[in-house]
Amino acid sequence: MTAQASGGAAPHRPLVVLSDPSIHPDAVALLARDCTLRILDAYSPEDVFAQAASGASAILARLGTVTRRVIQAAPGLRIVARHGVGVDAVDLAAATAQGVVVTSTGSANAAAVAEYTFALLLALARKLPQADHAMRGGAWSREPLVGLELEGRVLGILGLGAIGERVARQALGFGMRVQAWRSGRAQRQVAGVAMVELPDLLATSDVLTLHLRLSAETAGCLDAAAIAALKPGALLVNTARGELVDEPALIRALAAGRLGGAALDTFAEEPLPGDSPLRRMHNVLLSPHVAGQTEAAVRRVGLAAAQAVLDELSGRRPANVHNAAAYAVRRERGLFAAPLIAG
């Protein structure tokens, strides 16, 4: 097992496992005041993660997956604090059954993700990577770099939450016409954004951007049929979750020229395999799941996740709990009644 410990090893200090070393130093320092830390390598194998979690009271998870095996390897585990907005990388059912609270950091990185979404869109529409690559190769070729002007184009948004709303406002500032899917659930209304049915959104959007949380309901929502229903030549931007998209169907549509291009920050398998066809496609812009990474956002998110751990271990209810049923399990079994650190 590759890990490092910090913060002392006194037995009364609760053990917190950090899934990788990319947590902001200020968050690490905050936890180290009261806890013993075990920091893993990024994307540690499940057996390494499970072994490291043995004896842990908390897991702060950024990269990698907190599986049922990892959770069950830690009978004293009280909280899995996700470093980010989604909890799809945690086995929520296993955590709840064991009385383990699962939290996220809400909208702490929403501004960063929204800005990056538009950066990807602009780069894709105006062929910036191709221009840079050609210039570095000694070329001065303008004709292949004729791009797409965004003003007057239609942006379709799947997921009008904290991130989607920010993207909508940015698009309106560029003079785009903005529409979003009218789901069956109550959702926010954003000035200037038309709410439409999904078939209309797919058929009429020049650009489709994804901002849905991954769940059993949303997984694969952009399947082969939905991709085929997209407006010919449309651009796709995904800074949400790769599992929202049928990746093989997307690759086929891009290869056939059915779509104009895609800008992807998230993938069904991460890290993206080296032999993925996406890496060889000239109408695809790729980045390694970094939309939420600005210095300010990484610090905010790290501190929010660390605070959730400290709240839980101090006997306070943390913010952004995704499985409140875990508290009922605790009451039924008489678990975790006493705090582990002083409030």
Kindly state the tokens that stand for 43: 């994307």
SS3 339: coil
Which is it for strands 79-82 and 15-18: parallel, antiparallel or unpaired? unpaired
Which is it for strands 58-61 and 177-181: parallel, antiparallel or unpaired? unpaired
CATH 3.40.50.1860, applies to 110-286: no
- Bridge partners of 195, per DSSP, are 180
Q: Which of 126, 270, 299, 330 is catalytic?
A: 270
- Bridge partners of 82, per DSSP, are 61
Kindly state the tokens that stand for 248: 């093989």
Blockwise average pLDDT, block size 10, the chain, 343 residues: 46 90 97 98 96 97 96 98 94 98 96 98 97 96 96 97 95 98 72 96 98 92 98 98 98 97 97 97 97 96 98 97 98 95 85
Q: What is the pTM of this model?
A: 0.90
What pLDDT is recorded for position 46?
A: 97
Residue 131: is it exposed, middle or buried by C-beta count within 10 angstroms (0-12/13-18/19+)? middle
Alpha-carbon distance 103 to 319, whole Å?
7
Alpha-carbon distance 39 to 31, whole Å?
12
Q: Which of 241, 243, 247, 300 is catalytic?
A: 241
CATH 3.40.50.720 residue spans of the chain = 3-108+295-333, 110-286
Alpha-carbon distance 33 to 254, whole Å?
51
What pLDDT is recorded for position 44?
A: 95
DSSP tag of 90: B
Looking at the chain, list the stretches that DSSP marks H as alpha helix, in order from N- to C-terminal side: 25-32, 46-53, 68-72, 92-97, 110-125, 128-136, 162-173, 198-204, 224-229, 247-255, 295-313, 325-333
Q: Which of 38, 78, 153, 289 is catalytic?
A: 289
What pLDDT is recorded for position 1?
A: 47
Annotate 136-191 with DSSP letters as a single string: HTT----GGG-----TTPEEEEE--SHHHHHHHHHHHHTT-EEEEE--SS-----T
What pLDDT is recorded for position 139?
A: 96
Q: Is 270 in the active site?
A: yes
What pLDDT is recorded for position 184?
A: 59
What pLDDT is recorded for position 182?
A: 72
Report the top-level CATH class of 3-108+295-333: alpha beta
